[in-house]
Chains A and B, each alone.
Chain A
Amino acid sequence: MLKKRYSLMLIVVLMLVTILSGCQPAADGGDGDGNGDDVKEFVYAVVDDPATFDLDTTSWHQTQAIVSFDSLVEIDTEGNVSPKLAESWEISDDGLEWTFNLRQGIMFHCNEEEFTAHAVKHKFDHMKNPDKPSVNAHMISAIDDVVVVDDYTVKFMFNSVDGAIWNTLGGSFFAIDCPSCREEHGEDYGMNPCGTGPWILDDYVPGSHVTYVANTEYWGGADYWDNNGPPKFDKLTFRIIPDEATRILELQQGTVDYAAVPPQETKRLQDETDINVILSPSNGLRYWGFNMKKWPWTNKNVRIAMQYAIDKEAITESALEGLAKPLWSALPPSIPGYSEELEAEFKAKYPYDPAKTKEVLENDGWALNADGVYEKDGKPLAVSMWVLNEGIQIRTAEIIESNLKDVGVDLDIQVMEQATLTSGSPKGLHESLLWTYGWYDPQILFFLFNNGGTRMHYIDETVQRLAEEGHQKVSMEERLPIYEELQRYLADNPSWVVLYFPQDIHGFSPRVENVRMNPFGGGFVLNDIELK
């Protein structure tokens, strides 16, 4: 009996010892409690793991995966192209030959290879590899070839003009990898990235954190950055914290220096804490999109009637705590092509006016049935809407539902998760959806509507022609009138109700200084950040 009891105790003690001893080594990994030592660490809270550090194998480029890379250029805070790895460039008169002069003397992180024109060529060839093309190859479909002129000069040969190519070259899709590292690691390059960027990957524990150390030899970065030297802090840790409430608690506690803030927490953080809350325009808009292949959207009058039915102010005030702006244009203020005049014109054209909705429907032959729903040819005006499983979007949908009920339209909200929605809508399984787009260039209208697009299946000759023409010019002056025409056409022939233009809300701990937002670069300029 005694023996048995001791053996049980022994087992318990052994288990505890195992657990406790197993815990020691992990204690130094990426903790944010800023204890005494002189290592300055910036802790950045993110929602999930980087899919991979090999940017050619995913379209999902999150900050935690891209900071070790540089691109040829970068879009600055004003939306202009700022030199980065490329010092200067010339564009031929027909716009089909671009020659880049590259910066010299830049080494990749492995310190074994210098950044030259060959690395640019290698990047292009790897993306276009006929046996295994990059998932992002379509982003550079306008480029036929990249030719090495000499070590520091490289020529891009285009098959057609692509007015949005600066965004591709200036973002992470064409960030330059170290050719020899890629060859060496092959399939495992995704865990061994090597670039020329300000941060060097140090440690990645999936589900927990990604840690980078500063590249103390960093060459300087984009021209428009304040800090054209190595980063001003030593460590950059991305902590993976999936739960929103937890992220905000960590931010408040000071164990996290940056986290995105949900609208419902904004006021409290501003008023009751020392968190520095910064609002910046997001690069997209949210809309209620119709599946144009399906009844009742085949009837233009129904689509027009919907334009008057939605109280956009009510949505931004109650679902978004006033932290978004009602919108009528097809482009938000953060994308070139938006204009105040157009916006005012569209707003005057489609005010919130339930009576007008009823009038348009009744003129089209709809009549209220016994349930208070409009009906035509024995078919009640009832539609479903796919909505992403996320609080703000569900609240938005509920306001739309109640707005529509007031005008005799029956809306069925179908909440689903992202994977279901993004794979079902290209197949046209939905009747309508509440969705968001985000982009930096008016070319978004081409993506949205080309061959009908994957969200609204809007096949229309004029839309197709204008969307294509829009990015077949390089200069923005030539492109803008086309986008103006396209926006007017979309207002007259809508396939959606544009709802609002959200803001990105950023929370910084009080020790973070010199925060510069860049709406075009997706967030803030990391290299300019200083820590107190």
Chain B
Amino acid sequence: MSYTYIIRRILATIPVLLGVSLLVFLMLHAIPGDPVRLIVGEFAPQETVDAITRQLGLDRPLHVQFFNFLSNAVRGDLGRSLITNRDITQEIVNRFPLTFKIAVLAVLLQIIIGLGLGIMAALNHRKILDNVAMIGALLGVSMPSFWLALLLMLVFGVGLKWLPISGYFGFKSLILPAVTLGLLTGARIARMTRSSVLEVLNQDFVRTARAKGLKERIVIYKHVLKNALIPIVTLVGMSFGSLLGGAIITETVFALPGIAQLAINGINRRDFPMVQGVVLVIAVSFTLCNLLVDVVYSVLDPRIRYE
């Protein structure tokens, strides 16, 4: 693993981010709806609409607006929200920790549930445990997140009163959202783990390992799992990336002030710079996660080399 490779990869994200910004910018201006009408209200006369449009700089040509955004963004200044007039960088910085905490917890749960169920199912291939695990995973894959969220709220919030239903009051507020996300994404990991492990189990080197008398545990953990992990790492990496962008439905249902809420409010209120800023941050975390996944590959499988 050469450092020049990592640096090259980081540099390669720049055109990606530029492309994402441009795309989002164009999409925001292509969809109907205008923030000024939302600010001034239904009955304001056209003069007021025009005056506010000028104040916000929305009357300037699109390319000027875009380059202004870019040149400020490069300096770490994502501008001010059209609606709230608050600093967007600050707003994202304030909200990112919560989204990050949920993402980390959800990924940990996802790995535990996914790997656990998947390996168990693979080792008991076509037996009862396999079927039970896979039915569970199927349920998890097909259950909508808002429904699972409401069920968990009803049981652990309204019924048992162990946990707050919604909002953010410290760690106990993170449990239900993380479980919701962990269960649902863990189900996908479980299915992937099962098929990946099954595939490796049939390989010659596993037979050799068993033949030379290695303990079954060593065979599974050292030989099978390590080789089966590549596709799983990809999946976990991707889901971590998308969780860092915030889980829109989960954050909404649990009333959590994370990144996704910011994006959703921005879209609903046509707060152009806010949406651009949030999407930029999401794009950065996604590309970084991808890079991380590639690095992990070469750690897991020394045969993979990047030059």
Binding site for B on A (CB under 8 A): 12, 15-16, 19-20, 22-24, 26-27, 29-31, 33, 48-49, 51-52, 54, 57-60, 132-133, 135-138, 187, 190-191, 205-209, 239-243, 245-246, 249-250, 252-253, 255, 417-420, 422-424, 426, 429, 437, 447, 454
| B-chain residues with CB within 8 Å of residue A424 when the two chains form the complex | 32-33
Is B37 close to A, CB under 8 A? yes
> Contact: A190 with B86, CB < 8 Å?
yes
| A-chain residues with CB within 8 Å of residue B128 when the two chains form the complex | none
| B-chain residues with CB within 8 Å of residue A54 when the two chains form the complex | 85
Is B31 close to A, CB under 8 A? yes
**Chain A: which residue is nearest B102 at the CB level?**
A19
> Contact: A419 with B261, CB < 8 Å?
no
| B-chain residues with CB within 8 Å of residue A252 when the two chains form the complex | 158
| B-chain residues with CB within 8 Å of residue A51 when the two chains form the complex | 39, 83-84, 269
If A48-B265, A52-B84, A58-B39 touch, whether A250 touches B252 (CB-CB below 8 Å) is: no
| B-chain residues with CB within 8 Å of residue A137 when the two chains form the complex | 48
If A22-B97, A133-B51 touch, whether A187 touches B85 (CB-CB below 8 Å) is: yes
| B-chain residues with CB within 8 Å of residue A243 when the two chains form the complex | 146, 166, 252-253, 255
Near A by CB (< 8 A), chain B positions 15-69 give 31-35, 37-45, 47-48, 51-52, 55
**Chain B: which residue is nearest A189 at the CB level?**
B85
**Chain B: which residue is nearest A25 at the CB level?**
B170
Across the interface, B157 reaches (CB within 8 A) one of A12, A26, A241, A249, namely: A249
> Contact: A246 with B254, CB < 8 Å?
yes
> Contact: B95 with A207, CB < 8 Å?
yes
Is B174 close to A, CB under 8 A? yes
Q: List 14 A-B contacts (CB under 8 A).
A: A23-B170, A52-B84, A59-B39, A59-B40, A60-B38, A60-B39, A135-B44, A135-B52, A190-B86, A240-B257, A253-B157, A253-B161, A419-B35, A423-B33
Closest Cβ of chain B: how far from A4's Cβ, in Å?
A: 9
> Contact: A59 with B41, CB < 8 Å?
yes
> Contact: A423 with B32, CB < 8 Å?
yes
If A19-B104, A207-B95, A239-B167 touch, whether A57 touches B85 (CB-CB below 8 Å) is: yes
Closest Cβ of chain B: how far from A351's Cβ, in Å?
A: 31
**9 other contacts beyond A23-B170, A424-B32, with CB at 8 A cut-off?**
A15-B104, A23-B101, A57-B39, A58-B39, A205-B94, A206-B257, A239-B255, A249-B150, A253-B165
> Contact: B166 with A241, CB < 8 Å?
yes
Is B154 close to A, CB under 8 A? yes
> Contact: A250 with B48, CB < 8 Å?
no
Near A by CB (< 8 A), chain B positions 182-198 give none
> Contact: A246 with B165, CB < 8 Å?
yes
Q: Which 6 pairs across A and B sit closest by C-beta, in order of nearness?
A: A207-B257, A59-B41, A419-B33, A27-B170, A23-B171, A447-B43
| B-chain residues with CB within 8 Å of residue A208 when the two chains form the complex | 167-168, 255-257
Which of B43, B165, B264 counts the most A-chain CB atoms under 10 A from its CB?
Answer: B43
Closest Cβ of chain B: how far from A159's Cβ, in Å?
A: 16
> Contact: A454 with B42, CB < 8 Å?
yes
| A-chain residues with CB within 8 Å of residue B97 when the two chains form the complex | 22
| B-chain residues with CB within 8 Å of residue A249 when the two chains form the complex | 150, 153-154, 157-158, 165-166
A365 to B116, CA, bound (A): 74
A108 to B148, CA, bound (A): 48
Is B140 close to A, CB under 8 A? no
Closest Cβ of chain A: how far from B300's Cβ, in Å?
A: 11
**Chain A: which residue is nearest B36 at the CB level?**
A423
> Contact: B95 with A423, CB < 8 Å?
no
A532 to B31, CA, bound (A): 50
| B-chain residues with CB within 8 Å of residue A245 when the two chains form the complex | 150, 253
A53 to B39, CA, bound (A): 13
| A-chain residues with CB within 8 Å of residue B105 when the two chains form the complex | 19
> Contact: B85 with A246, CB < 8 Å?
no
A94 to B241, CA, bound (A): 68
Is B268 close to A, CB under 8 A? yes
A310 to B274, CA, bound (A): 43
| A-chain residues with CB within 8 Å of residue B94 when the two chains form the complex | 205-206
Is B79 close to A, CB under 8 A? no
Across the interface, B168 reaches (CB within 8 A) one of A26, A246, A420, A429, namely: A26
A30 to B169, CA, bound (A): 8
Near A by CB (< 8 A), chain B positions 230-289 give 252-258, 261-262, 264-265, 268-270
Which of A206, A209, A240, A252 counts the most B-chain CB atoms under 10 A from its CB?
Answer: A206
Is B91 close to A, CB under 8 A? yes
**Chain A: which residue is nearest B34 at the CB level?**
A423
Across the interface, A19 reaches (CB within 8 A) one of B35, B171, B262, namely: B171
| A-chain residues with CB within 8 Å of residue B37 when the two chains form the complex | 419, 422-423, 426
A23 to B42, CA, bound (A): 42
Closest Cβ of chain B: how far from A220's Cβ, in Å?
A: 31
Closest Cβ of chain A: how far from B134's Cβ, in Å?
A: 27
A27 to B172, CA, bound (A): 9
A179 to B18, CA, bound (A): 44
| B-chain residues with CB within 8 Å of residue A135 when the two chains form the complex | 39-41, 44, 48, 52
A206 to B256, CA, bound (A): 10
If A23-B171, A58-B39 touch, whether A207 touches B261 (CB-CB below 8 Å) is: yes
Across the interface, B42 reaches (CB within 8 A) one of A27, A31, A422, namely: A422
A233 to B252, CA, bound (A): 30
> Contact: A420 with B33, CB < 8 Å?
yes
| A-chain residues with CB within 8 Å of residue B83 when the two chains form the complex | 51-52, 58
A253 to B166, CA, bound (A): 11
**Chain B: which residue is nearest A24 at the CB level?**
B170
If A31-B169, A138-B45, A249-B154 touch, whether A422 touches B85 (CB-CB below 8 Å) is: no
